[in-house]
Amino acid sequence: MLSDRMRKAINDQINAELYSSYLYAAMSMYLESADMSGAAAWMKAQAREELVHAGKFMDYVNERGGRVVLKAIEEPPSEWDSVLDVFQTALGHEEKVSSMINGLVTLAREEKDHMTDNFLQWFVAEQVEEEASAAEVVRKLKLAGSSGGGMFMIDNELGRRGTDPATESGE
């Protein structure tokens, strides 16, 4: 059974994962309006993946005899300065989520909750991938600069994420 502190902390994480999905959906819509359909598809896939993460946490709380309590989801931004700004924001967000996951691991270890510590290790590894993926896009966008051809190529590459099951994680 989960302690009250652990259950509350995981419920907060569920809310954060749902917000992440909402944020990436907002980014996807912004990118669509900027005629970056490949980048929009990448963000749409990211939004779906965050829902999977929230579901994993929900299932875990239920399996451990806790109760999931859903909260209001904060409104995400709807405007960014550029495609690069979108992905820099996504990278910063993933770094924040990594910090939150690390906080859950620390709490699990403080409470000697080995089951939760073990469960969280999947998310620790996932965050390495999440940060690396967003950082790679940021690096490529910086290399492309304002080059229309470079942006076109990056957008094409990003659009393949939603069509190749091997590039989607979290399921």
Gap between the Cα atoms of 90 and 135, Å rounded: 9
Mean per-residue pLDDT for 74-83?
97
CB atoms under 10 Å from CB of 119, counted, come to 20
Gap between the Cα atoms of 89 and 95, Å rounded: 10
CATH class entry, domain 4-165: mainly alpha
Query: Taking the model in full, what pTM does it have?
Result: 0.91
Residue 20: per-residue pLDDT: 98
111-167 pLDDT, tens digit per residue, is 999 999 999 999 999 999 999 999 999 999 999 988 889 999 999 999 987 554 444
14-25 pLDDT, tens digit per residue, is 999 999 999 999
Residue 108's pLDDT band (cuts 50, 70, 90): very high
Whether the CB-CB separation of 25 and 43 falls below 8 Å is answered with yes
